[in-house]
Structure formats: C-alpha cells, structure tokens
Amino acid sequence: MKYLITGYKGQLGYDVKRELLKRGVKEEDIFAIDKEEMDITDREEVNRVVNDFKPDVIFHCAAWTAVDKAEDMRDACYNVNVVGTKNVVDASLEVGATIIYMSTDYVFDGTKEGLYTEEDKVNPKSVYGKTKFLGEEEVRRNPKHFITRISWVFGINGHNFIRTMLKLAENHSELNVVDDQIGSPTYTVDLAKILVDMSCSDKFGTYNVTNSEYCSWAEFAEYIFESNKKCVKVNKVTTEEYLEITGTKQAYRPRNSRLDKSKLEENFELLPSWKDAVNRYNIELQKEKENA
C-alpha cells in the first residue's frame, strides 16, 4: 500500500505519517507533502504528482483553517478548500485511490438542542464552514471516501488552544474564556490512529470523529491549567461578552458542537476522553521542551 498525505506540515498530517511508520509502513511508501511540493490549487501539478506516485490512499489534510481571515479572504479560502479538494478528488479517481478528508463541526450552525449526527442537515454560517462542506461534496464523488468531521484539534506540530493557554499563563493570573461554545477537543495522535484504521477498511462514508466527552472552551482552559499546575483563574464569559471585552470581530462559531459518535463506535472505535488526551499531550509537550 502507498499513502499520500497532503498538508504534512500541519498538526494532523504530521501525526498521520507518524502513525503509518509506527505500523510498519516503509518510508518510501509514504509521500508526505505540503504546498511547496504540491500546490493543491494547481490542477496540473496535482495530476502530475498523484499520477507519478500512484497512491492507494490519500489523506487530504491540507486546508485553509484560518476561520476569521476567511471572512475577508473568501476567494483564497474557496480556492484551497473547494478547488484544491476538487483537484485532489479528480486525481484520486484517476488512480483509483481511497480519499480521506477532514471536515469540521462548522458545517453545522450549532443551534440544535442535542447531539449532531452525520445525517443532520448542515447549515454552515461562516465562509470556512461553507467551503469545508463544499469540499465534502467534492469528496463524495469518489465512492471510496471517508469524511471525518473533527473539532478543536491539537497536536505537537503546530499552534493550538493548549499552546496558547500555556503561553498566556506565563504572564496572566486570570483570563476570560468563552463558556457558551460546547464541543470536544481532538488530539491528532488519536485521530491519526482512526484515520489509518479507516484506510484499511471499506466502511466508507461520513463520520463524526472527536475525542470522547464534551466541554466548553472555558472548561478546556481550566483543565489545561490544572493538569499543568498553573495558577490561572478562568473567568467564564459568553461569546458576546468576550467580543465586547476584547473589541474583536470574529467569524460565526457554532455554540453547540457536540457530535454524536455512535456510527464511529459501531464501525471502528471511540477515541479516549479529551482529558486523557490532554494528559498525554502534556507529556509530549514536556518531551519537546526537554529536547529543545
């Protein structure tokens, strides 16, 4: 089996490669690339790279993820998340590869009372959410596809909420953190395991894939400080209060991002709890610090 990973310099692409190597896949059977090696918005380049390597599986991790910037840079975001994905899907069809695509909780508007299932009607309210859903629609053209809806991602290879909170803890004794957006943090190490499991399977379709259990951003922050023995008081505020206090303008964010993982449990397995994931990530951060 040969594997192509787009967006390798991101948090997830990095861990997908680590997981493949851990399972004994040879280095030469993995082509982990970023935009320097293949610009996904360049159709000819995508065709050439994919046809030359002829992967059996494409992990399409490359994406425009700057949610707020997307509101002012619609065309650029659309070009990466929709046109880029279309190019990768077309190439996957040419070589007969399975495609695994990362989507987002932002495809929902977050107004539902209970948990969101894969069958629930989408209603993205941000440019980012809209383009990721249009990307999903492109991916569905390949019958051999997996679409994973993920949220609140953190991994060792990049910026994320945990790193931001720990950085702020260096010179803040209290912080205002949003408490009315509820979801599940997702550790790329755990996500990568499921994605590789999917690549060995034919249980194609759309899946909600996040770590187990739910929290607000404020509860997430509290646990980050507690588990890292940082003495920082978290002031729980609403989204509106946060925007007023900071004087910032943000893209729409769903209030309820609680995703139902029954389908994942039925076909694969549930990821560990988000607190367990944070504990393991803390160890990874500590090793990073020691090796710096």
Write out the catalytic residue numbers: 128
Q: Are 221 and 234 in contact (CB under 8 A)?
A: yes
| Residue 163 tokens, joined | 């790193």
Tokens 């989204």, located at residue: 239
Distances from the Cα of 118 to the Cα of 102, 139, 261, angstroms: 14, 15, 9
**Residue 104 to residue 88: CA distance in whole angstroms:** 18
Torsion angles phi and psi, residue 152, rounded to 5: 50, 55
Dihedral angle, C-alpha 130, 136, 140, 141, nearest 10 °: 70
Q: Are 107 and 136 in contact (CB under 8 A)?
A: yes
Among residues 192, 180, 93, 213, which one has the least CA distance to residue 148?
192
Cα 197 to the center of its chain, rounded Å: 17
Q: What share of the chain is helix, strand, coil (3-state, %, to 5)?
A: 45, 15, 35
Among residues 138, 122, 171, 152, which one has the least CA distance to residue 223?
152
| Residue 207 tokens, joined | 């899946």
Among residues 143, 70, 142, which one has the least CA distance to residue 104?
70
Distances from the Cα of 252 to the Cα of 83, 112, 125, 198, 270, angstroms: 23, 15, 6, 31, 29
State the pairing for strand pair 30-32/205-208.
unpaired
